[in-house]
Copies of this chain bind each other. A is one copy, B any other.
């Protein structure tokens, strides 16, 4: 899969992961390999235990996904979005993306250990939907989004 075949949100996610790849782990490997950890289908999910803390790789994936959503929001609307992620030790938590004084994305997380999407298409669609939803909120409450 060449980069040109990817949905816009997936391109942004790939850029996020490659930008953080300070040890050149993904260097020279195709985008599809790099996106593969984001795909967690039912079978794969069942194999991941949900006890204890989500591991660092899972946390990184959550941060990369919402980082890509934040950057896509900025590209679409011109307003910077920053994520605030609260995770408890049991994989429960909440993520909000904030533009100025406005919450543009708000999601409760559970079983964060199993964070992922059943298919690449669903990953792209869910990311895109969050970005569009955020843009709608920014349009609706533009003054709050511009405030600081």
The interface of chain A, by Cβ under 8 A from chain B, is: 84-86, 94-96, 98, 100-103, 106, 137, 140-141, 143-144, 147
Contacts and interface: CB of A to CB of B under 8 A. Distances in A.
Give the dominant DSSP class at A's interface: strand
A119 B85 CA distance: 31
Given A84-B86, A86-B86, A144-B141, A106 B102 contact: no
This protein's copies in its complex:
2
Given A141-B141, A141-B147, 5 more contacts: A84-B84, A86-B86, A101-B141, A103-B103, A144-B144
Contacts of A102: 101-103, 144
Contact of A101 (B84, B85, B94, B103): B103
Contacts of A94: 84
Nearest to A141: B144
Nearest to A100: B103
A147 B85 CA distance: 21
Contact of A141 (B85, B106, B143): B143
A85 B86 CA distance: 5
- Please name the 5 residue pairs, one residue from A and one from B, whose CB atoms are nearest each other, closest first: A141-B144, A144-B144, A84-B86, A101-B103, A84-B84
